[in-house]
Structure 1
């Protein structure tokens, strides 16, 4: 995959998802396989759906 061929419309959601994940991990102790957190559980399917959508659109 060519790193120069990036979707501009997918960059912002990707950065936001990374920031939410980092803050959740560092500040709130979110871990894979840990206790369920409603915010993390709500964000995960939204991020997955966005990733699928951008992939299917070819971005």
Structure 2
């Protein structure tokens, strides 16, 4: 997952969580492990995500 140099760690976690949420909604075979990873990333970003979905 590539980001620009001025992207904060929090923004990176938030973007990764957003992408994961979109993936696990449509790929049911990976739903449980990806939803757990999404939950962990979201908590690392403190649930203040300003990234457009």
* Coarse TM-score class (shorter-chain normalised): 0.3 to 0.5
Give the TM-score, by structure 2 length.
Answer: 0.46
